Chain A
Amino acid sequence: MTTTSSQFDRPTRKSVWQRLAQVPWTWRIMLSYLSVMLFLPLAAMFLKASTEKPADFWRIATSPIALATYDVTFTTSLVAALLNGVFGTLIAWVLVRYDFPLKRIIDASVDLPFALPTSVAGLTLATIYSQNGWVGSLVAPFGIKVSFTRLGVGVAMMFISLPFVVRTVQPVLTEMEKDIEEAAWCLGASQWQTFLRVVLPPLFPSILTGVALGFSRAVGEYGSTVIIASNTPFKDLIAPVLIFQRLEQYDYAGATVIGVVLLLISLVMLLAINLLQAWGKRYD
């Protein structure tokens, strides 16, 4: 590292280069890596978007086909994430509170969507939810088609966002004192009351965080959804697939504008998740 004497005669008149020389090498590697790999591409996209006139930007961003893809992407992701909010919490609860055979394997398997490449997930989901697949054939008699419809997109999004809720709720549930629940029972609260009034409130921030994480993952998902959907505009075409199609047509401006919209929404989600996590920590 650099000498300590230079720390005393700081700050004003040093040249930029002298200051750079004081930065530890770990910082230099980190910052240059981030600059090349992360900031440069981000800058390229924002600058490309800014070469569009605001009116053009707005026109592309709110064209009917783009609006339809936002609707499909965000509504479906939200429904999928909320469903996982319910079932993910239930799974976390079962894994923390009860003992049953194969529990360890089931616990480990929850991470499968993180480990399985998304194209494999899309392939196998499309197969078993198709009209003659294992699950698809069960619901087909009721006139429900899953694969190659918006419902299929939802199933793929449920698949990839499931671990987020389970893995954010699980540690909180593990840390939670059982005494309080027992006290509630002793004081005559029913199971349902205990759950609603005692268990749920401290869990709520982590459930919301999990839902937000899952939602933001589902919004950006491409691999599994592109395979299970028919990618018909105004039906089940999602925003990431639209970006891909625009790129294939060499419509860089169109791809960039929709990409920027998606990116800005991810950034807002990231901010929301950080705020949620801060909120969850107030109990610590």
Chain B
Amino acid sequence: MTSLLRSNHPKTANPSAKQKSWVPTLLIGVAIAYLSLILYLPALNVFVQAFSKGVGPFFDNLLSPNFQVAIRLTVLMALVAVPLNLVFGLCTAWAIARRRFPGRAFLLSIIDLPFSISPVVVGLMIVLVYGRNGWFGGWLQANDIQVVFAFPGMVMASVFVSMPFVAREVIPVLEEVGSDQEEAAQTLGASQWQTFWRVTLPSIRWGLLYGLILTNARAMGEFGAVSVVSGNIAGKTQSLPLFVEDAYKQYDTQAAYSAAVLLAFLAVVTLVLKEIVERKTRIKDLQE
């Protein structure tokens, strides 16, 4: 909104610019230097290390069985976590956005809670519920179901840490859109489902997409929580982020960077998609 307006008067923007033109240059320099030290050099390093000996080692690692299992597990985790959190996020947003009730702010903080809990604590809690000595441990063992140190536990961990994204992005959009159009649709005889599909969904689609992109990135990239519940067994319960750490600890730096570069690529794709969605919503804001 206003972010677009600010560039309209670049010439008159800074009255004192003539005397002190070194200030912006200095500040920009400091900002870029800091970002380089903390973000850019580390990011660049991932690509340099991964391909320093050409693409050969990268593809060799890509073909190793443990690596392929790691890729498959990572994708599977996202495939389960994203739809689950999509349903939860949409229901939550729908339930909360249009109502004012006592304790609403409290409920919103509760939904945000997974972001404030340390990933290791998340893993610990899952172990305490589903682990061998946990609440359901005995029952699960009796029925020969393994949750902790197996795929279901890993999925639970990644679902937990990526839970709030969709709701958090959709709620403000729903609040802003208001319910007039939906009421109109229902008055004209649309069913609830039709109203959702034809009226609500189109108006929240960018916010929803934004939330899904973030959910996916976090579900695939989660390390701490998954690491606690997975047991980190190579070729069995090791997702890509765990593979990175394990390979590094085994002094197989090349393998670690081959996995890291894949994840870094995922991060870049996430950022690009995010930017595209942000731009779309900005253009929409301007049209209104």
Contact = CB atoms under 8 A, between A and B. Distances in A.
B271 A111 contact: yes
Name A's interface SS: helix
A191 B156 CA distance: 53
Given A162-B38, A175-B2, A30 B92 contact: yes
A263 B121 contact: yes
B202 to A, nearest CB: 19
Contacts of A40: 129
B263 to A, nearest CB: 5
A255 B124 contact: yes
Interface in B205-225: 214, 217, 220-224
Contacts of B6: 96, 174
B39 A94 contact: no
B271 A220 contact: no
Given A48-B128, A94-B27, A114-B217, A128 B241 contact: no
B124 A118 contact: no
B32 interface: yes
Contacts of A115: 217, 221, 266-268, 270-271, 274
B46 A120 contact: yes
B116 A269 contact: yes
Nearest to A41: B125
Contacts of B124: 45, 243, 247, 255-256, 259
A267 B46 contact: no
B244 A222 contact: no
A185 interface: yes
A178 B241 CA distance: 45
B126 A94 contact: no
Interface residues of A, number: 89
B223 A270 contact: no
Contact of A38 (B87, B110, B135): B110
Contacts of B253: 127
Contacts of B42: 121, 124-125, 128, 159
B3 interface: yes
A41 B92 CA distance: 20
Interface string B1-41: 01100110010010110001001100110111011011111
Contacts of A220: 116-121
A147 to B, nearest CB: 12
A189 to B, nearest CB: 10
Interface in B104-122: 105, 109-114, 116-122
Contacts of B134: 44
Contacts of A270: 109, 112-113, 116
A220 B266 CA distance: 24
B45 A240 contact: no
Contacts of A124: 42-43, 45-46, 49, 260
A180 interface: no
Contact of A263 (B2, B117, B214, B220): B117
Contacts of B114: 38
A130 B7 CA distance: 42
A30 B91 CA distance: 6
A16 interface: no
Contacts of B51: none
Interface stretch (A6-14, A54-62, A85-93, A197-205): A85-93
A274 B160 CA distance: 22
A108 B163 contact: no
Given A34-B110, A124-B45, A119 B267 contact: no
22 contacts: A29-B91, A38-B110, A87-B30, A90-B31, A97-B24, A109-B271, A112-B271, A115-B266, A120-B241, A121-B42, A124-B46, A135-B41, A158-B38, A162-B38, A174-B6, A191-B20, A220-B120, A221-B119, A223-B223, A223-B224, A243-B118, A255-B124
Interface of A: 1, 24-27, 29-30, 33-34, 37-38, 40-42, 44-45, 48, 87, 90-91, 93-100, 104, 106, 108-128, 133-135, 155, 158-159, 162, 174-175, 178, 182, 185, 191, 216, 219-223, 226-227, 239-241, 243-244, 247, 252, 255-256, 259, 262-263, 266-267, 269-270, 274
